[in-house]
Amino acid sequence: MFHLMQIVYLVASACVVAPVVAADRAWQGYQDGNYVVAAKDYERRARQGEKLAQFNYAMMLLRGEGVSVDPKAGLQWLNRAADGGLAQAQFAMGLLYEHGELVAKSLAEATRWFGLAAQQGHVGAQQNLATQYFLGRGAQKDMALAAKWYLKAAEGGDMASQYIIGTLYEQGDGIQKDDSQALFWFTQAARQGDMAAGIRAKVVARRLAAE
């Protein structure tokens, strides 16, 4: 059974994405709460092939903002945006395949979509792709690839990835052991509020001081 709020959560908050150009009628209408105007404009532009409009119109269809809730149409527009190369849409498709929502569950397809978005620098996709390789879920277990993508996500500011890559550096798992790098990433995660990372940073710092 389709659960709208679950989908809304899965597609990364399902909020329309701001355009690069500030003067945007649909975006301004959405910001002002005029969802009918926004939906009509996004639909018009989506049909003209604009990827961001396709994604935003898909989100409005899934949420029922300015239009009736239409999961089927929402998925179609989301898929068009993803096929067109929009990283946010690719990430969303990966999440849907991972959870089996609106599409048949396929961890391999989830990995494929995460990979496409990750290669474009989407931090959430990088973290999810790393986890696929870390667990051997939808892809062969590969700690080197897991470390590669956790590092990318960590560099993008993802706190969980910062802690994990710190652990991988400390253990030398999938990446060359390096306590200095472990300390760096544990410290980065701790600065974002990860208490466990703060504890690990102190442990590694004491070990480095004793060498």
- The model's pLDDT over 161-194, given as tens digits with 9 standing for 90+, comes to 999 999 999 999 999 999 999 999 999 999 999 9
Count CB neighbours of 105 within 10 A. 12
Instruction: Write down the pTM of the prediction.
Output: 0.90
DSSP assignment string, the chain: ---HHHHHHHTGGGPPPPPSSS--HHHHHHHTT-HHHHHHHHHHHHHTT-HHHHHHHHHHHHHTSSS---HHHHHHHHHHHHHTT-HHHHHHHHHHHHHTSSS---HHHHHHHHHHHHTTT-HHHHHHHHHHHHHTSSS---HHHHHHHHHHHHHTT-HHHHHHHHHHHHHTSSS---HHHHHHHHHHHHHTT-HHHHHHHHHHHHHHHH-
pLDDT in tens, 107-132: 999 999 999 999 999 999 999 999 99
Mean pLDDT of the chain: 90
Residue type, 9: Y
Candidates 146, 201, 133, 205; CA nearest to 175 is 146
What integer pLDDT is reported at residue 18 of this predicted model?
A: 55
pLDDT tens digits, one per residue of 95-104: 999 989 899 9
- Say if CB 56 and CB 26 are below 8 A apart: yes
What is the Cα–Cα distance from 208 to 151, expressed in whole angstroms? 22
Say whether pLDDT at 50 is over 70: yes
Q: pLDDT tens digit string along 51-88?
A: 999 999 999 999 898 999 999 999 999 999 999 999 99
Mean pLDDT across the stretch 30-59? 91
Higher-pLDDT residue of 5, 176: 176
Q: How confident is the model at residue 152 (pLDDT cuts 50, 70, 90)?
A: very high
